[in-house]
Amino acid sequence: MSNKRVWLFREGNATLRDLLGGKGANLAEMTNIGLPVPPGFTITTEVCTEYYATGRELPAGLMEEMTTALADVEKDLGKKFGDASNPLLLSVRSGAKFSMPGMMDTVLNLGLTDEIVDALCKVSDPRFVYDSYRRLIMMLSDVAYSDKYEHISKHDFEHLFADLKKELGVKEDLEVDAEGLKKLCEQYKAHVLKVTGKDFPQDPFVQMKEAVEAVFRSWNNDRAIVYRRKEKIPDEIGTAVNIQAMVFGNRGDDCGTGVAFTRNASTGENVVFGEYLMNAQGEDVVAGVRTPLEIADLQKANPAIYQEFDDTCKKLEAHYKDMQDIEFTIEHGKLFILQCRSGKRTGPAAIKIAVDQVNEGLITKDQALLRVDPELLNHCLLPVIAPGTKYATIAKGLPAGPGAATGIAIFDSERAAELGKGGLGQNVILVRAETSPDDLKGMLAAQGVLTEKGGMTSHAALVARGFGIPTVAGCSEISVNAGKKEFTYAGGTIKEGDLISLNGTLGEVINGSVPVEPPMMTGEFGTFLGWADSERTLGIRTNADTPEDTELAIKFGAEGIGLCRTEHMFFEGERRPVVQRMILAENDAERKAALDELLVFQREDFKGIFEALKGKPMTVRLIDPPLHEFLPSLASLIEEVAVAKASGKPDAAKEELLHTVEGMHEINPMMGLRGCRLSIVFPQIVEMQTRAILEGAAAVIKAGGAAKPEIMIPLVGHVNELRFVRERLEATAKKVVEEQGVAIPYEFGTMIEVPRGALTADEIAAEASFFSFGTNDLTQMTFGFSRDDSDKFLKPYVAQKILPGDPFESIDQTGVGLLMEIAVEKGRKVRPGLKMGICGEHGGEPRSIAFCNKIGLDYVSCSPFRVPIARLAAAQAAILASKGGAERDK
C-alpha cells in the first residue's frame, strides 16, 4: 500500500487508474497537460479498501492530509474553505478504476453554511446562493443519512419542494424566487433535524468528512453491486473520491454547462457531438427539463468559447489518442473541463473512428484493432431497430439471438411454418414456452423467436445464433399459454396475431411494430477486418449445415466449415418420417430401405455445401444425438395411450410405439447411446453418411470443383472407439472412391469432448488426423453440469459468485481449459502438427478465442454471424500474445 493517501491533481497522471480511479487519473492528466480543470485532489482507492477493512472508519490522519491538500487548492484559487468572506465551495465525487456511470454518490456545493450563505448573498445573486444551498442540504442528507434514517432521501426533499411550489402557486423550480428558496432551505434544515435529531452540519469540514464517507459507502449500494456484477468489475478494488473546487454554470447568462463527444458516438463521424445549456447546472442537461442545444449552436452563440472548446477537444484526442466523452462548464465566460473519459460508441462508430484515427496517423493498426470490443461487431451485422426509434419494452429476457424483428405472435410451429417464410410469407414471431427440435420448422419460418424458458445455450438460443434468428429466450417476465394462444406480461396480454417486436441484441420484447433496418457493411468494416486478418494466426471456420449459411459465413470471412452437424438435416420436413422408419425398422431390409432414401437426401445436402465452399475444407460430424430424439416424446405417448385406453378406444399402434420409445428411453441421454456409441451399435447409419459425404464430394470434383471432406467421429473417450469406427468407415470410403473413380482428399478425425478423450489424447492422436474440441459437452462433463438443466443452479451460482461466469459462455480455463491443454500437449507429442480446432459455442466468444490462441489451436469455428467477431478476437489475441499475453483492457 502506498503511504500517500491524498493526491493533488497536479501530482497524478493517467497511469494511476488503479490508485486514483479513472476520473481522478484523468483529472490529473488533464491538469498536467494544461487544460482548464478546476483544482482539487483525489483520495485513493486504497483508502476505500482501508475504510471497509477497518469496519467503516476513515483512517486516522486522513482529514489532516485532506486539509493540507485543501490549502494548496485554496492558495491556487485565492479562496478559503469555510471562510464567509471568500468561500471555496467543493464538489465530492466517486471515481472507480472502471467507469460506473451514475451508480455511486456525488455531493456538490460543499462548504455552504448559514453564515456563508448570508455573506455570499451580499456579493452574489441570492437566488443562486439559496438554490446552491438547498441542493447541498438535499444531496448531503440523501447520501450521508438515508442509509441510517427513513424519509431523508432526495425524494423526500423533492416532496417538500413540490409542497412549497403548490403553496406559491407555481409549477417550475425556476419560478421560485430567492425568498422562496430561502424558506425552502429552512424547511430542509428543519426536516434534517426532525429526522436525524441533529442540525444540518454548519462546520464545512464535518460536511466534507460526511460526504467522503458517504461516497465510500456508496461503493456497496445495491445498484453499484448489480452494475459491477453485470460488467464483471471486481468488488474488492474500491472507489477513489475526487474533491474539486466548484465552478458554476448557473451564475448567469455568461455561464453554461454541457456534455460532448469529440466525434459522433453513433456514426463515428469526425465532428464534435454533444449538447449544452446556458445558465444551467449539469443535471439540468441530463434531466431533460429544458431542451439542450446542439454543440454546433455554440459556434454561432459564442465563437470564442466554441473555438476554445474545439481546441480542447483536439488536444484531448491528440493526447489520449481516442475519442473522448467530456463534461464542461462555462463560468462567467471562462471554460472549465470537469471530466473526460474514453467515449462509449456503437459498433459502426467504433470501427469508423478506429479506421479514421489510423488514417489520421493518430494510432497504429494494432491499437485500432485492440480498441474495438469484438462483441460490438454484432451491431454491424444484424438487422437493427432504426437508430433513434423510441419504443416501450414490455418484458426483458436473455439476448439469445441478436438482431431485431417484427411480426405477428404465433404460438405453434406448424402455424408459424404455414404463415411465415416458405409459407404465406408473413412476418411471424414464434412464441413458445420453450423450443424443441420439433419447432425447427417454425423457427426457420419466423422472423424472430421468443421463449419463456431456456438459457443462452438452450435449444432455441443455439438454433437462433446458428441460423441468425433474432431471439429472446428465457423471458421469465412473460407467461406463455400455448393452449389459449396467448402470453401475458406484467401489463397485459398478447394474443395470436398481435404485432410484437423483439430486440434480440438486448433481450427486449416490444408491443407493436418497430422499424427494422438491414445490417451495415461499410467500407471501413472491410478495411478493419482486413487488418484483423493480417494480424491473426488462428484460422476462422464456421458451424454451418446448409449451403445458405455456408455462403453467408464465407461472405463474413469464414475459411471453411469447422462443424457441419448432420442430424439437423434429419429433422427437416419430409426426412423425419424416413428417419423414424429407419429407427423403427424391424429387420435389416426395412432399415436399409430407409437408409437408402436418406442417402439420396444427404448426398444432395453435402453436394450443395461443398459447392458453396468452393474447395474450402468441411468438417462433418457424423450423427451424434440419441435416436429417440427423432421419435415422439415419451410423455406425450404415455398421455395419448392412457387417454385412448380410458376412453375405451385403445390404440394398438400407439401402444406399440410407446413400447418402443420406452425401450429407448434414457435416464441421462446426454451420457447415453449417442455419438460414436451409436456408430458402433448401429454402424449402418454412419456408413450411409460417409457414403453420402464422399459421393457429394465426388460429384463436385467431377464437375471440375474441389472438395475437402474431414469426417469427424464424435464423443470418443477411448482410442478403441475411434479405431473401431474409423476402420469400418475407411472401408466404406475406399469403396466409394473406387466406385466414383476420382481422388477425394478425405480425412478422418475426432472430437475431443469427453474428459477421457482429453486425458488420453496421446492414444487417440495415433488414430486421428485432426482433433476438434467440443467444448459444450466437455464443459458439461468436466463440471457435471447438464446444460439443459443447469439454469436452476447456474444462475444462483453466478449471482453468488460461486462461479466467475457461465462456463457455457466463456471457457472455464482452469478446469476445462486444463483438459484442453493436456490434450494439445499429449496429442502433438504423438502426432506433431496435429490439426486442432474448436467447434463448441465458445469458438465465437472472444475470451475463449484468446485462450484457444494461447494453447496453440489451429482454428476456431463459430456460427456465421460470429465469424467477424472471431476474426477480430483472434487478431487481438495474436497482438496481445506478441506483447507478452496481457488481456485486453475493459
- Interface residue list for its own copies (CB under 8 A): 634-635, 638-639, 642-643, 645-647, 666-673, 677, 680-681, 715, 717-718, 720-721, 724, 753-756, 759-760, 763, 777, 780-786, 788-790, 792-793, 796-797, 800-803, 812, 814-816, 818-819
Min dist. Cβ of residue 649 to its own copies (A) = 10
Comparing CB distances to its own copies, the nearer of 566 and 813 is 813
Distance CA 142, CA 603 (A): 71
8 Å CB contact between 242 and 8: no
Amino acid sitting at position 497: G
Cβ proximity to its own copies: between 785 and 865 the closer is: 785
Strand arrangement, sheet containing 6-8: 6-8, 40-43, 239-245, 90-96, 106-110
Q: What is the CA radius of gyration of the chain?
A: 33
Q: Which is nearer to its own copies, 10 or 756 (CB)?
A: 756
Residues 6+ positions from 330 with CB-CB distance below 8 Å: 249, 254, 255, 256, 257, 278, 305, 336
Written as one string, the DSSP assignment of 292-321 is: PEEHHHHHHH-HHHHHHHHHHHHHHHHHHS
C-alpha cell at 758: 482429453
The C-alpha cell that represents 593 in the structure block: 430401405
How many CA atoms, within 13 angstroms, populate the side-chain half-sphere of residue 572? 13
- For its own copies, give the closer residue by CB, 14 or 433: 433
> Exposed e or buried b for every residue in 593-619, given b needs 16+ CB within 10 A?
ebbebbbebbbebbbbbbbbbeebbbb
CB closer to its own copies, 94 vs 780 = 780
Cα-based angle 853, 857, 860 (whole degrees, multiple of 5): 80
Q: Would you say how long the chain is, in residues? A: 890
CB atoms within 10 A of CB 115: 12
Distance of closest approach, residue 394 Cβ to its own copies, in angstroms: 25
Angle separating helix axes 126-145 and 114-123, nearest 10 degrees? 150
Measure CA 684 to chain center: 44
Give 311 or 662: the residue with its C-beta nearer to its own copies: 662
- Asked if residue 758 lies in contact with residue 823, where contact means CB atoms within 8 angstroms, the answer is yes
Distance in Å, CB of 443 to its own copies, minimum: 19
- In the complex, what is the shortest distance from the CB of residue 664 to its own copies, in angstroms, rounded to a whole number? 9
Q: Could you tell me the CA-to-CA distances from 329 to 260, 307, 337, 745 in Å, in that order?
A: 11, 15, 6, 69
CB of residue 828 vs its own copies: minimum separation in angstroms? 18
> In the complex, what is the shortest distance from the CB of residue 446 to its own copies, in angstroms, rounded to a whole number?
24
Give whichever of 587 and 647 is closer to its own copies, judged by the CB atom. 647
Distance CA 637, CA 641 (A): 6
Catalytic positions, please? 459, 839
Distance between CA atoms of 839 and 844, rounded to whole angstroms? 9
Place of cell 457414403: 691
For its own copies, the closer CB: 801 or 829: 801
Q: How far is CA 125 from the centre of its chain?
A: 48
Residue 581: all three cell numbers together:
422408419
Name which of 359 and 720 has its Cβ closer to its own copies: 720
Provide CB contacts within 8 A for 706, sequence distance 6+.
Answer: 614, 615, 700
Among residues 884, 873, 882, the alpha carbon closest in space to that of 851 is found at: 873
Q: Which is nearer to its own copies, 492 or 650 (CB)?
A: 650
Question: Is residue 129 exposed (0-12), middle (13-18) or buried (19+ Cβ within 10 Å)?
Answer: buried
CB of 69 closer than 8 Å to CB of 34: no
